[in-house]
Chain A
Amino acid sequence: MRSCVLALMLLVFCHGVTRAESEIPLERLTILSIEDLLNVQVVTTKKKAESAFQAASSIYVLTRDAIKRSGATNLPEAIRLIPGINVSSVDINHYMVSGIVNNDYFTDKILVLIDGRPVQSLTFSHVWWPAQMYPLEDIERIEAIRGAGAALWGSNAMGGIINIITRPASATHGGYIHAGGGKLDQGLASLRHGGALGETADYRVYAMAGRKDGARFVKGERSANPKDSGAQNNLSQSIQAGFKIDREQEGSFLSLHGDAYNVEANSEGAMFVRPMISTQHFKHKDIFNGYNLAADGKFQNSDDLASSFRVILDRNLVKRAAFEETINSVNGEAQVDYTLGSGNTLTAGATYLYYWDDFIGSEAVSKPNDDGYVYGIFLQDELFSFENRFKTILGARLDKNNFSGWEFQPNLKAAWLADAWTLWGSAARVVRLPNSMNNNLLWVVDSVTDYPVKGVEGPGLLGVISSKGNPDPEEVYTYETGLRLKPNPWMGVDLSVFYSEYKNAISLFEETSQTQDNKSWAPYEPYVYDIYYRNVYDGSALGGTVSVTAEPVFWAHLNMAYTYTHISMTRKADVPENRKHSYADYLRGSTPMHSGKGALRLDLPWFMQLDFIGNYTSEMDALNVRANWRWDVRLAYAPSEKLSVSFTGRNVLKEKQMEWYSPWTYDNSWVRRDYVILMEYNY
């Protein structure tokens, strides 16, 4: 409610401010001489977008063309192309997408936005990827900022930000049909229609549907009852529809957009339940559905002042075997950009998020219904000096949340901008706010696998994550520097290194004395002990990325990148030794130390396109995942820009391989050799 009032006030404010100087009307321009036209000063409606080449952070922009030419059919597969971002397929529905650190099932240290809408689960701080869909054709670009960057973007951007930006409605006039199918992507289709609404507005509507099948879960390797496991197909069916209306007038840009979706995805696994102390194997049809509506606007109020706002309403439901949760949220943001002088822009803004959820638990997981909020202000000053060669940005965000109170997240960035190169550096403090999972969730996570006395059969231990924890936020201090070079017009080189210091990394913690006390354990009686989230580790991450882009001839485009990441975590001095989880090893061993990515796109004669996409990930010992190569090949026939037919072979060199393995759930499945045929037509 308060957000709505805020937005309303803002609208009034934005319209109330008139332009400082009146513009020359079109009729007068057409009678000016060509010399006079050269002297007319121009204004542009849109806020000047920072060019990626001059950014003072480790930014990578994945273009629409690169997405299309990868043959990707969902968002994580497209994001996989971005250097420095780890994407592992758990099964055909679930993906782990992580930045600098933490390739966990709950990859909670990366901020993902679709058109400015944060898509993290507010309970777990991670992303339910099966629920994140958009027609890839209508995605303008995906920007990935690796490293910490909270001042403008919001909390939780510890290890990176993935910013998915859809095309403006003005760019999607006409119709578009996309259809295809293959081995795992058994059928997928999307339809879009767009056009003009009067002289100043444009619209598009779309619908998409997909069905995936064929992958099988990894059989019985960790199941308590091997006979029962692993036979189910990893079926998934999804449908989504949405719209976007943009209105662009002199000095103002307004956009209203929304989506609604439903995904049914089979899952399989085991949960630890009580009072029966045994792992219960399950097959379940998970359901993800929801809808969102967002309004945003940008205004050039005067030569010196620009303002913008965004209001998002979001409701989503996740129904899994162990729980069902509906989260509602209202998100509001207002921002003003004020030009203090030439080359000095002050940005100030306020954000407000309120959410409430409805949680239906089970014997394995429970949580009280709760509500929460995060609100705050941010301030940033961007300053150009030395004849616009030196850019400095000083910014900070001050947030208050219902778990840990006030959080201060400052950053400082600087860049020297030459014509052919940019040298930049940055320092930032970012926090990952504690969530409901860390504070309120009761979760039976342990059972007979931790049987205390060898050779004794029967019920054993029951570990319950309790709400005893109330940990502090996880903090990271990240220092980065990088060099971007353009040695010639057809080549770009990007080098960056980072050092991150982690404080208060949250991990599960178990009171050691309880479980080693075997005497108090009676056979056939459950032994319930507490596990809870606590700030257990401090540590650091050191690494860097080098990437090269080249287009030596107009028919060949090459991208190559290598990333090195070294993580080390140590137990905090005040934390007693923890028998249970060696999370320090887990964090290190679940992020690949070496990763390489490459794509070669060739335009052949007779309207043929040939693309090679390679991906290398070194061993992740904590997940029992070996070093793996993955090669995709795409061959397409595109007789005009309106029509193309493509064949993509995925993981062509291997029959099957494992990209991720969960020590927690059984969702895992092999990533098998796969193909998909896609057809697209614009009219």
Chain B
Amino acid sequence: MGRALHGYKVKALLATWLLLSLTNTHQALGQQASTGLADAANVKAAFLYQIANFIEWPPGVFIDKSSPLVIAVHENNPVMNALRTAAREATAAGRPIIVRGYIWPDDIDPSASIIYTGATTGKALHNILSLLSHRKQISFLVADGEEAAQEGAMMSFYLEDNRIRFIINVNAAGAAGIVISSKLLRLAKLAGEKTWEK
């Protein structure tokens, strides 16, 4: 290619480039206005922190109305720090929030009623799900990525137009006896369950 890039060929290439560049400007102008700009990890932490107001765990998950809400978060995820900072003086649905980190699925706090795994799909997600079912632990499992909700996570975050959106897997939540408020469902994209075994 190198030596062929001379004279008119260079000009033709540059002209094409310019033309292609122009086709993009209208896309830039058409972007919608936003409420503001924030760090993705902080926004996810804020979502996790509010979720407890919209879901109801089956009886027996909490001892009483003031028992703390334990959120287990993968320690390597930046959401961990954000959530810890947010949870310091806050309560969710009247319960104090405790954030517990984990590195390996075995270390997930058995009393965690919300688990946020970050970008975990496929086999790694399957491992966490089988651990929970083995322990008979009822937790609202949240992950990142559209596939996660298809693969058994109850809720998963994804990015659309630089905004955080979420998918809810009603079947997975229903199977665990977790009831999700209609308000949250209205804001979410819904996913059906796709099992790994065909």
Complex Cα spacing A552 to B122, Å: 12
A42 x B38 contact (CB < 8 A) = yes
Residues in A whose Cβ lies below 8 Å from that of B90: 30
A42 x B159 contact (CB < 8 A) = yes
Complex Cα spacing A24 to B36, Å: 7
A170 x B24 contact (CB < 8 A) = no
Which has the most chain B C-beta neighbours within 10 Å: A37, A199, A248? A37
Q: In chain B between 1 and 56, which residues have their CB closer than 8 angstroms to a CB of chain A?
A: 1-2, 5, 13, 17, 20-21, 23-25, 27-28, 31, 34-40, 42-43, 45-47, 49-50, 54
Q: How far is the CB of B166 from chain A (nearest CB, A)?
A: 8
B196 x A381 contact (CB < 8 A) = no
B46 x A30 contact (CB < 8 A) = yes
User: Given contacts A40-B43, A554-B197, are A174 and B103 in contact (CB under 8 A)?
Assistant: yes
A383 x B24 contact (CB < 8 A) = yes
Residues in A whose Cβ lies below 8 Å from that of B111: none
Proximity bits, A9-22, B CB within 8 Å = 1, else 0: 00000000000011
A40 x B2 contact (CB < 8 A) = no
Q: How far is the CB of B169 from chain A (nearest CB, A)?
A: 16
Instruction: Determine whether B76 belongs to the interface, using a CB cutoff of 8 Å to chain A.
Output: yes
Instruction: Determine whether A287 belongs to the interface, using a CB cutoff of 8 Å to chain B.
Output: no
Q: Report the contact-size class of chain A (Cβ under 8 Å from the partner).
A: 35 or more
Complex Cα spacing A632 to B162, Å: 46
Mind listing 10 A-B residue pairs with CB under 8 Å?
A: A29-B38, A29-B42, A30-B49, A34-B183, A43-B39, A43-B162, A248-B78, A342-B24, A641-B127, A682-B104
Provide the main secondary structure of the chain B interface: helix
Complex Cα spacing A385 to B28, Å: 12
Interface segment out of the listed B58-66, B80-88, B172-180: B80-88
A36 x B35 contact (CB < 8 A) = yes
Instruction: Determine whether A250 belongs to the interface, using a CB cutoff of 8 Å to chain B.
Output: yes
Residues in A whose Cβ lies below 8 Å from that of B76: 170-171, 173
Q: How far is the CB of B130 from chain A (nearest CB, A)?
A: 10
A30 x B86 contact (CB < 8 A) = yes
B39 x A385 contact (CB < 8 A) = no
B1 x A427 contact (CB < 8 A) = yes
Residues in A whose Cβ lies below 8 Å from that of B45: 26, 29-30
B196 x A23 contact (CB < 8 A) = no
Residues in A whose Cβ lies below 8 Å from that of B136: none
Instruction: Determine whether A217 belongs to the interface, using a CB cutoff of 8 Å to chain B.
Output: no
A37 x B164 contact (CB < 8 A) = yes
Residues in A whose Cβ lies below 8 Å from that of B163: 38-42
A38 x B187 contact (CB < 8 A) = yes
Instruction: Determine whether A521 belongs to the interface, using a CB cutoff of 8 Å to chain B.
Output: no
Instruction: Determine whether A52 belongs to the interface, using a CB cutoff of 8 Å to chain B.
Output: no
Residues in B whose Cβ lies below 8 Å from that of A612: none
Q: In chain A between 251 and 276, which residues have their CB closer than 8 angstroms to a CB of chain B?
A: none
Complex Cα spacing A250 to B78, Å: 11
Question: Of B20, B31, B34, which one neighbours A383 at CB under 8 angstroms?
Answer: B20
Complex Cα spacing A409 to B3, Å: 10
Complex Cα spacing A171 to B49, Å: 24
Complex Cα spacing A342 to B23, Å: 10
Extra 15 A-B pairs, beta carbons < 8 Å, given A200-B81, A340-B21: A22-B37, A23-B39, A24-B37, A26-B46, A34-B54, A40-B163, A41-B36, A42-B43, A45-B39, A342-B28, A383-B21, A408-B2, A477-B1, A554-B126, A641-B105
Complex Cα spacing A248 to B77, Å: 12
Residues in B whose Cβ lies below 8 Å from that of A26: 42, 45-46, 82, 85-86
A173 x B103 contact (CB < 8 A) = yes
Question: Of A23, A343, A475, which one neighbours B38 at CB under 8 angstroms?
Answer: A23
Residues in B whose Cβ lies below 8 Å from that of A554: 122-123, 126, 196-197
Q: How far is the CB of A144 from chain B (nearest CB, A)?
A: 22
Q: How far is the CB of B124 from chain A (nearest CB, A)?
A: 8
Q: How far is the CB of A294 from chain B (nearest CB, A)?
A: 22
B1 x A342 contact (CB < 8 A) = no
Q: How far is the CB of A593 from chain B (nearest CB, A)?
A: 27
Residues in B whose Cβ lies below 8 Å from that of A387: 27
A477 x B2 contact (CB < 8 A) = yes
A640 x B43 contact (CB < 8 A) = no
B21 x A344 contact (CB < 8 A) = yes
User: Given contacts A37-B164, A427-B1, are A343 and B39 in contact (CB under 8 A)?
Assistant: no
Q: How far is the CB of A332 from chain B (nearest CB, A)?
A: 26
* Cβ-closest 4 pairs across A and B: A429-B2, A554-B196, A342-B28, A29-B46
Closest to B78 in A: A248
Which has the most chain A C-beta neighbours within 10 Å: B54, B82, B123, B187? B123
Instruction: Determine whether A553 belongs to the interface, using a CB cutoff of 8 Å to chain B.
Output: yes
A341 x B24 contact (CB < 8 A) = yes
Q: In chain B between 63 and 78, which residues have their CB closer than 8 angstroms to a CB of chain A?
A: 75-76, 78
Instruction: Determine whether A520 belongs to the interface, using a CB cutoff of 8 Å to chain B.
Output: no
Instruction: Determine whether B95 belongs to the interface, using a CB cutoff of 8 Å to chain A.
Output: no
A40 x B164 contact (CB < 8 A) = yes
Q: How far is the CB of A137 from chain B (nearest CB, A)?
A: 13
